Structure 1
Amino acid sequence: MTDIPSAPAAGAAWGARPKDALAPTPDRSGTGRAATPRRGPADPVRALMHRHRALCERAVDPLEIAAGLEAHGVTDRTAARFRHRDVFSLAEELYARVPRDTETPSATRELAPEPAGWALWALLPGVVCALAVEGVQLTAGGVRLVAGAVGAAAFVVALTLTLRRGPLRAGPRARPAARLCAAWLMAYAIGGDGLLAEAVRGGPDGGWPLDPAAATGLAFAVAPAMWCAHLFSVQARRKLESSRGLAEFAGRSRPLLLATVALFLVGLTACLAIAQLAYGADAFAAAAALGVLLWLARLLAAHGFAGAATKVLAAAASAELLALAFVFAGRLPGCAALGRPVEAVVRTWGAGALPAAVCGAAALALLARAAAVLARASAHCDQ
């Protein structure tokens, strides 16, 4: 009996079929007629090409197609069904086969150097905050309130202008709720510890102490935050260009993220330490945890994952707000038990222990999320 011809190997060159693939199948029915040969799809990539034609037409290199395919759920295992070893190889064929209105080089594009202006703009929030703090400390009475309000408004404007440039710009997907939560967390870092300590002691009877070191240190930390975000984006893009599979890129990008977080933590620590020497502070850990939390949240938003950042920021802001509310609510008749846990924490470890624990836990949650989503190719290519 004649052997049945085998199917083409999965790794064969595209479009190549052995000569005996079209040979008639031997008769097994006894009718004397050869059976019609079974044929697979002549071009299995064609359907995928038509489905994602818009993506392929606007892509400037195969990496953008690979990122778009991954965002639509195409994995290396899926690419194997199209006779390709991985999504990158499949994207290269789609890029080669789909015509574009204008000819672009098929080779991977080089990273165009961004204007260096944003690197200087990154210093602006720290300078404005330092001037505002000095203005508040050199004045008194009603003038101090005016100086504080003007300084706070100037800082908000400077921070907004800075974040609209460079690698931490969040784009149209940025959510107002995230900005509101970040503003509350910053406000708590400046005056929340003093208010909480006074509330535990039965106050406040008037004003409460503020923390200029936290404000100034976090403001100057905007510069290393933007520099580290730029470094991460550039290095991740280069690793994406040299990777030959989604799993390989994920394995190379996660250590890069952890190294960048450590580098930012060094820069943040330096900024806070200098501010502490200038103004004095006792909530170093809380400010450091908040700085990492805000940086991770903005990094996720800049790469298109603002939803997770907003939820974690909202949870941290709510925890700090509830802590203050429970202390004041404990003064009501019959509600003393509400404030006891917070009061015990403050008396044992100090007022800064609460925001340090809250922001530290939130930062760890965002770091885990970032390690998962920023390891995707789609997080580093324009869609």
Structure 2
Amino acid sequence: MSLGESAAGSAAAGAGKLAGPAGAPCGDEGDAGADVAPGGSSGAPGLPGAARKPAARRGAVDPVKALMHRHRELCERAVDPLEIAAGLEAHGVTDRTAARFRHRDVFSLAEEMYARVPRDGEPAHRAMPSKSPGARADWAALALLPGALCAATVVGLRGTDGQPRLAVAAVGALAVALGLRGALRRGPLSTSHRTTSATRAWTCWLIAYALLGDGLLSAGLEGGPEGPWPLATAPLLALALACAPGAWCAHLFAVRARRRLTASRGLEEFAASVQPLLLGAFGLFLCALVGLLALSAAALDEPPASAGAGALGALLLLARLLTARGFTHAPAFVLAVAGTAEAAALATVFASRLPGCSFLATPVETVAGAWGPSAVPALTCGAAALVLLIHSTRTLTRASAHATPSGEPL
């Protein structure tokens, strides 16, 4: 159906289903009133012997116009029909609802709404904001910054000892944190939605556990710690280096999903076509992360990086993808649960040394005895990542998750 046919079909919608005064509610909020005869009567008999005249209409309601009035702000700020379609879906409008407006799907309805909205003399169709190659190069380069700073910090730690080593560690941690903040403020992983301090704290705890947790847990199970325990720098380096492929995979997913949004003609069709893109981008990131974990362990002459670091990387990427699209509640909750589980594992090991409390460490001892201390973060973060992946296949495949704000570079 062309855009002109859509407008003609909407204007021809009769008053039998959607009729009443202009601006009356329509669509999901109910149908308008019935036809009314002149003088306010509704089908009242006339004078005896007089010919009965057909009831006159006050004028059929334009249902699309009424819908545009209800979503006026969405229509006026949209830069293309896709943003209107995404906004309608976010407000609960489905393809079935669009059929009540004489349109085959939400996309066709959005095209008519976009074409008919007044824009104060602007042309009906505005071009999409140009994506600056310089802006894209900026975020692509910033994504490399955390890994480069972390690598420099690791080299500095290996070349120092004593108090200078502590100074290098402190300065390096601050530099990596600032580099990570800069990488997440631009590009496909950036977000305008505010993250809570609790979410940031749990994220920092999970990263700190990847550095210190396995060694501390192993020492605790052996009766220690009696001295400084080994630090797992290879997983931390791999996670920092993985910021770049994570941003690039997120960019690939966003661009391909936007193209599918342009080509799709229904919400269900779009969701079915985007789900493989999400799983493919996520799998590509996992492959890159596994390779970085192996390279980091070989370069630093450490034991092969644990599966817990890989599960943590997957968890952090999914959480950021959801947060960048405005779905902040689920990532915050899942990160808090994963962090609490890891903290509880350490706490039960040390609490078991109290008289009569040895049973508290039984679950952790069982898991660590069977698969090693790294199994604790692997199971914890792996289960959390699986929950977020299932949630992502239901939320990141919506059209409303891919409405690009004006001026945002992809």
Whether the TM-score (by the shorter chain) exceeds 0.5 is yes
What letter matches 2:307 in structure 1? A
Partner of residue 187 from structure 1, selected from 200, 208, 211 = 208
From the superposition, tell whether residues 11 and 112 of structure 1 become closer, same or farther in structure 2 (CA, over 3 Å).
closer
Query: Where in structure 1 are there 5+ consecutive unaligned residues?
Result: 1-9
**Mapped pair 1:319 → 2:341:** yes
Partner of residue 101 from structure 2, selected from 75, 82, 95 = 82
Worse-superposed segment, 314-323 or 125-134: 125-134
Contact 1:217/1:275 (CA < 8 Å) preserved in 2?
Answer: yes
Equivalent in the alignment of 1:343: 365
From the superposition, tell whether residues 371 and 214 of structure 1 become closer, same or farther in structure 2 (CA, over 3 Å).
same
What is the CA–CA distance in structure 2 between the aligned matches of 1:102 and 1:352, rounded to whole Å? 63
From the superposition, tell whether residues 112 and 105 of structure 1 become closer, same or farther in structure 2 (CA, over 3 Å).
farther
Contact 1:309/1:366 (CA < 8 Å) preserved in 2?
Answer: yes
Equivalent in the alignment of 2:307: 285
Q: Following superposition of structure 1 onto structure 2, how do residues 147-226 of structure 1 map, counting pairs within 5 Å? A: 147-226=168-247
The C-alpha deviation readout for 1:56-87, integer Å capped at 9, x for no partner, is: 11111111111111111111111111111111
From the superposition, tell whether residues 41 and 319 of structure 1 become closer, same or farther in structure 2 (CA, over 3 Å).
farther
Partner of residue 11 from structure 2, selected from 12, 15, 19 = 15
Equivalent in the alignment of 1:73: 92
Contact 1:119/1:166 (CA < 8 Å) preserved in 2?
Answer: yes
Equivalent in the alignment of 1:3: none
What is the CA–CA distance in structure 1 between the aligned matches of 2:376 and 2:125, rounded to whole Å? 54
For the residue of structure 1 that corresponds to 2:289, the secondary structure is helix
What letter matches 1:236 in structure 2? A
Contact 1:11/1:84 (CA < 8 Å) preserved in 2?
Answer: no
Q: Structure 1 residue 107: deviation in Å?
A: 6.9
What is the CA–CA distance in structure 2 between the aligned matches of 1:219 and 1:336, rounded to whole Å? 38
Equivalent in the alignment of 2:402: 380
Partner of residue 303 from structure 1, selected from 310, 318, 325 = 325
The C-alpha deviation readout for 1:116-171, integer Å capped at 9, x for no partner, is: 12111211111111111122222222222222111111111111111111111122
For the residue of structure 1 that corresponds to 2:10, the secondary structure is coil
The C-alpha deviation readout for 1:197-235, integer Å capped at 9, x for no partner, is: 000001101211111110111110111001101111111
Partner of residue 328 from structure 1, selected from 344, 347, 350 = 350
From the superposition, tell whether residues 251 and 102 of structure 1 become closer, same or farther in structure 2 (CA, over 3 Å).
farther
Equivalent in the alignment of 2:68: 49
Q: Structure 1 residue 15: deviation in Å?
A: 2.4
What is the CA–CA distance in structure 1 between the aligned matches of 2:121 and 2:88, rounded to whole Å? 22
Partner of residue 262 from structure 1, selected from 278, 283, 296 = 283
What is the CA–CA distance in structure 2 between the aligned matches of 1:225 and 1:139, rounded to whole Å? 31
Percent identity between the two aligned chains: 55
What is the CA–CA distance in structure 2 between the aligned matches of 1:163 and 1:118, rounded to whole Å? 9
For the residue of structure 1 that corresponds to 2:171, the secondary structure is helix
What is the CA–CA distance in structure 1 between the aligned matches of 2:291 and 2:404, rounded to whole Å? 34
From the superposition, tell whether residues 190 and 337 of structure 1 become closer, same or farther in structure 2 (CA, over 3 Å).
same
Partner of residue 235 from structure 1, selected from 256, 259, 262 = 256
From the superposition, tell whether residues 352 and 162 of structure 1 become closer, same or farther in structure 2 (CA, over 3 Å).
same
From the superposition, tell whether residues 319 and 174 of structure 1 become closer, same or farther in structure 2 (CA, over 3 Å).
same
The C-alpha deviation readout for 1:14-33, integer Å capped at 9, x for no partner, is: 32479xxx9x9x99999863
Q: Structure 1 residue 13: deviation in Å?
A: 2.7
Contact 1:329/1:338 (CA < 8 Å) preserved in 2?
Answer: yes
Query: Where in structure 2 are there 5+ consecutive unaligned residues?
Result: 1-5, 15-34, 38-42, 406-410
What is the CA–CA distance in structure 2 between the aligned matches of 1:86 and 1:108, rounded to whole Å? 23
What letter matches 2:327 in structure 1? F
What letter matches 1:167 in structure 2? P
What is the CA–CA distance in structure 2 between the aligned matches of 1:350 and 1:370, rounded to whole Å? 30
What is the CA–CA distance in structure 2 between the aligned matches of 1:250 and 1:358, rounded to whole Å? 29
Contact 1:296/1:370 (CA < 8 Å) preserved in 2?
Answer: yes
Equivalent in the alignment of 2:118: 99
What letter matches 1:14 in structure 2? S
**Mapped pair 1:141 → 2:162:** yes
Runs of 4+ in 1 over 4 A off after TM superposition: 26-32, 37-41
Q: Structure 1 residue 284: deviation in Å?
A: 2.7
Q: Structure 1 residue 286: deviation in Å?
A: 1.0
Equivalent in the alignment of 1:352: 374
Q: Structure 1 residue 109: deviation in Å?
A: 3.4
Q: Structure 1 residue 37: deviation in Å?
A: 7.1
From the superposition, tell whether residues 39 and 372 of structure 1 become closer, same or farther in structure 2 (CA, over 3 Å).
farther
The C-alpha deviation readout for 1:259-309, integer Å capped at 9, x for no partner, is: 100111111111111101112234431111111110111111111112111
From the superposition, tell whether residues 371 and 207 of structure 1 become closer, same or farther in structure 2 (CA, over 3 Å).
same
What is the CA–CA distance in structure 2 between the aligned matches of 1:213 and 1:46, rounded to whole Å? 60
Contact 2:202/2:335 (CA < 8 Å) preserved in 1?
Answer: yes
What letter matches 1:202 in structure 2? G
What letter matches 1:361 in structure 2? A
For the residue of structure 1 that corresponds to 2:170, the secondary structure is helix
Q: Following superposition of structure 1 onto structure 2, how do residues 358-373 of structure 1 map, counting pairs within 5 Å? A: 358-373=380-395
Give the TM-score, by structure 2 length.
Answer: 0.84
What letter matches 1:88 in structure 2? F
The C-alpha deviation readout for 1:161-192, integer Å capped at 9, x for no partner, is: 11111111122423322221111111100110
For the residue of structure 2 that corresponds to 1:49, the secondary structure is helix
What letter matches 2:9 in structure 1? A
What is the CA–CA distance in structure 2 between the aligned matches of 1:294 and 1:126, rounded to whole Å? 16
Contact 2:294/2:305 (CA < 8 Å) preserved in 1?
Answer: no
Q: Structure 1 residue 105: deviation in Å?
A: 5.6
Equivalent in the alignment of 1:7: none
RMSD of equivalent CA atoms? 2.6
